[in-house]
Chain A
Amino acid sequence: MATLAAPGAAAPAAAMPERQPTDWTTPAMQKRIAARYAKERNFRRLGAGALVVAASFLAFLLFTIVRDGWTGFLRTEARIEVQFDATTLGVDPAAAAGPNGQVMLARADWQALLLQAAQQLGPASDQLSDAAWMQLRDAVMADPALLGHKASLWVPVRSSIDLLAKGKFDLSAPADSRGVSDREVADWRWLEGQGRLRTGFNGAFLGNADSTEPELAGIGGAALGSLLTLLVTIAIAFPLGVLSAVWLEEFAPKGRVADIIELSINNLAAVPSIIFGLLGLAFFLNFAGMPRSAPLVGGITLALMIMPVIVIAARVAIKSVPPSIRDAALGIGASPIQVVFHHVLPLALPGIMTGTIIGVARALGETAPLLLIGMRAFVTDVPQGFTAPATVLPMQVFLWSDDVQRGFVEKTSAAIIVLLVVLIAMNSLAIYLRNRFERRW
């Protein structure tokens, strides 16, 4: 006890010992400093490492998609010489240029003509695409003078020949595991040897709708379906979202009700998208009796889904307009509505646009809710309107990824490339708008 009490006795509170100057050079101090630097270095490495991992995942994803997908934009065609024989076609050459010529030509027996022309391909005569006859028809309908003459035409070939030409098969593998028959390989070699094949840009892929034949399937129908759907989405979600945000920010009485509304909107933004699909199915299709698979219904459903996103973005943008601008306008005699439309909304618009584009980009990539309202239908026509059956880009990716035919593998990846390009373009626009018009106060 005596030893414990000694320090207190030696240094009473009134006369504290003088504090020694800090010695920064002691080994313990040096070690502490070194440890601090090491900690900092490690943390930086950790951060950079995380970035490298994330970036390599992304690079891998993009690499595989581009590797598999870029050939989807190409198509192999075979050259055939066609004698446009009016008797085989069953048409009257004199009437072809007449008033009903086009109708008559459209009804002619093009398949018979193609069958005849395909004979020149010898062993590979059945390797032309099922729809190659359309090429013949289109050539004559564009130029009726071709009737009775001979012309050289490039027509699409079957998917297996197309893939062989693009080198998609490992020909050294045994026949039963390489996915293509010996006969097809022989036909391809024959055509190639005759110099009748060429692989070029596949315009049909961008213009056509879906098909059971990979060489004829295209993304055009789905792209137009997406466009129609998003038009409906924007037309509904933008005004509703912005007006809701304006009311909540500028006019709603603050209090319990406003808090509950705010909470609901934030929760709504986090609701899984498939729930909106169920709502669309139950309400728009079953109750309201709207057409199945239609861009109209898809658009409304997606509008419900992205509206909370727009409301939240618009509220943030409106909130960031400084109150002094509102004071200035009110002080000069503007009514609250004039304050909103003359000053607040124009100043908040870049932020609102950014939020809207991000919301629409999300809608563009959405599949789940559209599954439930029937937009996974197999539609071989480019959609004719808002109520016609249609599909959308991500749904097309899903449908093709599900297809057993080998030719759809590259189509799937090519469709993903189109989808990603559109999404990147939209997000770039959003960033551009934000940087270009954002005002700092």
Chain B
Amino acid sequence: MSTNPAIGHNEPPPKMTARDVNVFYGQKQAIKGVSIDVSAEHVTAFIGPSGCGKSTFLRCLNRMNDTIDGARVDGQIELDGQDIYASAMDVVQLRARVGMVFQKPNPFPKSIYENVAYGPRLHGLARSKADMDGIVESALRRAGLWDEVKDRLGESGTAMSGGQQQRLCIARAIAVDPEVILMDEPCSALDPIATARIEELIDELRGRYAIVIVTHNMQQAARVSQKTAFFHLGSLVEYDDTSVIFTNPKATRTKDYITGRYG
């Protein structure tokens, strides 16, 4: 919806664009003709009631749906103008450029250091041990975790609190220096304090990475995002500046959802 006049006038080209994306699980159609642009500058939130397809669509953006049996995606999704479903696109490289943070914190059952170092090592991003130490430190610093863990990098990543685990997962995603970070309800398993910490972190990361966050928490979308897309029954109902979606939505369905009529 780059043609939508409500969204900026002289913005740089979008980081990711989707055109007419349909997703099928077997016979069932989960996503119906979604077209959207994701900006590099902003945090984009996907909201909508459970089962509306927002997570499914998010997982199309780094081809995580490839791993699901019977899932089929058609339409076009581009990253910097490159079709990510083209046969020339290397999935491994795509997922390095488009990182992902999941709903439940899922650190590897390894040390904190190894959790962060795994991605860079996989992609050969560090030339030496010192190089790797630097990458790990800067990723942990950016994830706001360095001061808490710098003295216990050898401890298991699974021994930390839920909020710390989720920030470790963010650090792990940052460590491979992605361009886009997809977050699939990153706070749904966390307590309010840990949630606030993650939200702060998302705000700090804005601008450096294009961030797309799926959330079922409308207040969270309002707090962290600049653009909001409202999904319903597999379709994109409305996509606009967050302030517009929450104060002056155009579609009745959006208004009903925002005001709590259903959801």
Please give the residue numbers on chain A whose beta carbons come within 8 Å of chain B beta carbons, in ascending order. Answer: 253-254, 322, 324-335, 338, 342-343, 347, 439
Q: Which residue of A lies closest to B106 (CB)?
A: A324
Among candidates A325, A334, A338, residue contacting B106 with C-beta atoms closer than 8 Å: A325
Contact residues in A for B250 (Cβ distance below 8 Å): none
Contacts of A335 in B (CB 8 A): 92
Quick check: A343 and B102 within 8 Å, CB to CB? no
CB proximity to A under 8 Å, residues B81-119: 92-96, 99-100, 102, 104, 106-109, 118-119
**Interfacial chain B residues near A331, Cβ < 8 Å:** 62, 64, 95, 99-100, 102, 173
**Cβ contact of B119, chosen from A254, A333, A343, cutoff 8 A:** A333
Let me know if A332 and B69 touch, CB within 8 A.
no
Q: Determine if B64 and A333 form an interchain contact, defined as CB atoms under 8 angstroms apart.
A: no
28 chain-A/chain-B pairs, Cβ below 8 angstroms: A254-B69, A324-B102, A324-B104, A325-B106, A326-B67, A327-B67, A328-B106, A328-B108, A328-B172, A330-B67, A330-B95, A331-B62, A331-B99, A331-B100, A331-B102, A332-B96, A332-B99, A332-B100, A333-B93, A333-B94, A333-B95, A333-B96, A333-B176, A334-B122, A335-B92, A342-B118, A343-B108, A439-B109
State whether B67 touches A332 (Cβ < 8 A). no
Most central of B93, B94, B106 by chain A CB within 10 Å: B106
CA distance A332 to B109 in the complex (A): 15
Is A325's CB under 8 angstroms from B108's CB?
yes
Tell me the bound Cα distance from A334 to B169 in angstroms.
15
CB pair B64–A327 under 8 Å, yes or no, is yes
**Complex A-B, nearest 9 residue pairs according to Cβ-Cβ distance, in ascending order:** A331-B100, A324-B106, A333-B96, A333-B95, A332-B119, A328-B106, A333-B92, A254-B69, A335-B92
B71: min CB distance to chain A, Å? 12
B150: CB under 8 A from chain A? no
Q: How far is the CB of B78 from chain A (nearest CB, A)?
A: 19
Specify the main secondary structure of chain B where it touches its partner.
helix
Residues of B within 8 A of A343 (CB): 108
Is the CB–CB distance between B176 and A332 below 8 Å? yes
Answer yes or no: B223 CB below 8 A from chain A CBs: no
- Bound together, the chains give a CA A331 to CA B67 distance in angstroms of 11
Interface string of B163-199 (1 = CB under 8 A from A): 0000001001100100000000000000000000000
Q: Which residue of B lies closest to A255 (CB)?
A: B69
6 further interface pairs, Cβ-Cβ under 8 Å (given A328-B102, A330-B64, A331-B62): A324-B104, A331-B100, A331-B102, A332-B96, A332-B176, A333-B92
Q: Which parts of B204-259 form the interface with A (CB within 8 Å)?
A: none
Contacts of B95 in A (CB 8 A): 330-333
Min C-beta distance of A250 to chain B, whole Å: 10
